Amino acid sequence: MARIFDGSYGIIRQGGGHIQIDSAPGKGTSVKIFLPQVEGSPRPVDSNKALPKVTQGGETILLAEDEANVRGLICELLQAQGYTVLPCANGREALETCERHPGKIDLLVTDVVMPGMSGPELADAVQAARPKTPELFMSGYMGGSTAEEKVIARGAPLIGKPFTAKTLATQVRAALDGVK
């Protein structure tokens, strides 16, 4: 439950909002989410519009994301771009997959904050097993966590959640191509 709240809190704060929680034993809990008002009217989104195909695909991506819904969506998006995805629910599972996978792993895509092993810790372990594996980090916090500071210090690309399919495709391609 705390992990769900942490992710929600990060997204709400990124949008300029805040959360108010009132709780009392035997009385229940009330959660109010406040978001800033946006001027203008919403633009319709064409959900039938296909993602542009990447110029190169087929690489293998090790994906570590502890939230099942997010992991599933990212996996779907990357597979639609032609990538082979090795989805993992946490850092330990990703490290085991890295050690067992017989082929090349072309890119590590990992959440920054995960229970048990952070994204930067996972990246260090992957680098030890498979040196020079490019990395792409994702974060729903984007607010100066220690793990996030480690990502910045290593000079790896970092994308904030939520992100669009186009942003993910662009950042994955850039990481694979070594574009900084």
- pLDDT tens digits for range 134-149: 999 998 876 666 666 7
Q: Note the pTM of the prediction, 2 decimals.
A: 0.70
- Token reading at 79: 């597979």
Answer positive or negative: Cα dihedral of 75, 81, 86, 91.
negative
Query: What pLDDT score was predicted for residue 24?
Result: 81
**CATH code of the domain containing 123:** 3.40.50.2300
Q: Which of 2-6, 25-29, 40-44, 112-116 holds the top average pLDDT?
A: 112-116
The total domain count for the chain is 1
Q: Give the residue-averaged pLDDT of 95-100.
A: 96
Q: Are strands 84-88 and 107-111 parallel, antiparallel or unpaired?
A: unpaired
* 66 in any annotated domain: no
The rounded Cα 48 to chain-centroid distance in angstroms is 24
The H-or-E segment that residue 106 falls in is: none
Does 30 fall in a domain? no
For residue 95, tell me if it sits in a domain.
Answer: yes
Residue 136 located in a structural domain:
yes
Look at residue 56 and tell me if it is in a domain: no
In a domain, 146, yes or no: yes
Residue 64 domain flag:
no
Which domain does 83 fall in, by range?
75-177
**What does the pLDDT average to over 158-164?**
88
14 lies in some domain: no
